[in-house]
A and B are shown apart, each in its own frame.
Chain A
Amino acid sequence: MSKFKKKTQVKQDIPTSSMPDVVFMLLFFFMVTTELRQTSIEVKQNIPKATQLRKLQRKSLVTNLYIGEPIKKDQYGTEPKIQANDVFIEPKDIVLWVNREKDKLSEAERDQLTVSLKVDKEAKRGLIADVETELRKANSRKLLYTTLEDDKKN
């Protein structure tokens, strides 16, 4: 009778064969729900370096303008262009754009909007000055020329 000894040991392993499925499901979930980047930058962005950097405190109050030579040269030419969100705009559209950006903020914070100009090294001053003139008209006077940290001592 002892030949048919009853097994007391119960198998306790958790089945792992479905683990990849679970992981992939998680991955897909995040891929679908996460907004990766709001904008894909369509202009050249070779940012100049500087030493006297200031950090901006409230990220929600910052809005970006990208200026530089378009990456798709055959489509948009080689003249530096202004990119706001996902589209190229002309300097005359900036007032409208600033007002739309201000509408996104709460009433009390509207005058604290900071425009961060991400400008390519090779862009000319003329275009940037036009942008500044328009920003003044739109009464959005806080401006930041985004630069990288220059490590070498001056």
Chain B
Amino acid sequence: MPRSTPEIPNASMADIAFLLLTFFLVTTTIANDRGLSILLPPPPDPNAKQDEVKIQERNMFKIQVNSSDALLVEGEPMDDVSGLKDMIKAFVLNNGRDPNSSDNPEKAIVSYKTDRGTSHARFVQILDIIQAAYYDIYAERASVTNAKFREAASDLSDPQNKEIYDRGREGIPMNISIAEPTKVGG
């Protein structure tokens, strides 16, 4: 007589699975470690003499935002920010052609000044545009897409990524100067 094969009851399998699922859903925090990365300047040295660093007017691209989030680009008010990225790109890559724009990318500085009353949302929006201009330039030089370049820049331990990163950035440092905010609002 053939013996019936022993079976493990699996009716509660679904319950267990759902339980585990719920457990992981609750405990897992989706870490959001993405954002705009910047490097702060070194701490001010109190012993160092305050010698004025002379930067030529033509090598500065001035962006100012006031306490009511209004934008001033090179002294001109600007309402629509869609053209700002191309302006910055043209400024950085001028290479001395236009006498009112930068000498070369290494000297070009994008100066970004806000007020204490500027909202963080506006600050991030403009910083995003400035960085987009630089990343577009880098990506084009490394002949990859913008997203691919940023991905490569995030992990320089891979030699292939390092190569893309170096190719893009060579000779064009990301000179974004975020100035101490003015004290009108906030």
Contact = CB atoms under 8 A, between A and B. Distances in A.
Interface of A: 8-9, 12-14, 16, 19-20, 23, 26-27, 30, 34, 36-37, 47-57, 59, 62, 67, 114, 116, 119-129, 132-133, 135-137, 139, 141-150, 154
Contacts of B8: 14
Contacts of A121: 119-121
A124 B128 CA distance: 17
B34 A141 contact: no
Contacts of A48: 120-121, 124-125
A132 B15 CA distance: 50
Nearest to A53: B34
Contacts of B29: 37
B154 to A, nearest CB: 5
A145 B35 contact: yes
Interface residues of B, number: 59
Given A12-B4, A55-B154, A124-B117, A136 B41 contact: yes
A27 B146 CA distance: 45
Interface of B: 1, 4, 6-9, 11-12, 15-16, 19, 23, 26-27, 29, 31-44, 82, 85, 114-121, 123-125, 127-129, 131-132, 135, 146, 150-151, 153-155, 180-181, 183, 185-186
A145 B127 contact: yes
Contacts of B7: 12-13
B159 to A, nearest CB: 15
Contacts of A13: 7, 9
Nearest to A22: B16
B99 to A, nearest CB: 30
A111 B164 CA distance: 25
Given A56-B34, A116-B33, A23 B120 contact: no
Nearest to A115: B40
Nearest to A126: B116
Given A36-B26, A122-B119, A124-B116, 18 more contacts: A12-B7, A16-B9, A23-B16, A23-B19, A27-B23, A47-B32, A53-B36, A55-B34, A62-B33, A124-B117, A132-B40, A141-B40, A141-B41, A143-B39, A147-B35, A149-B34, A154-B82, A154-B85
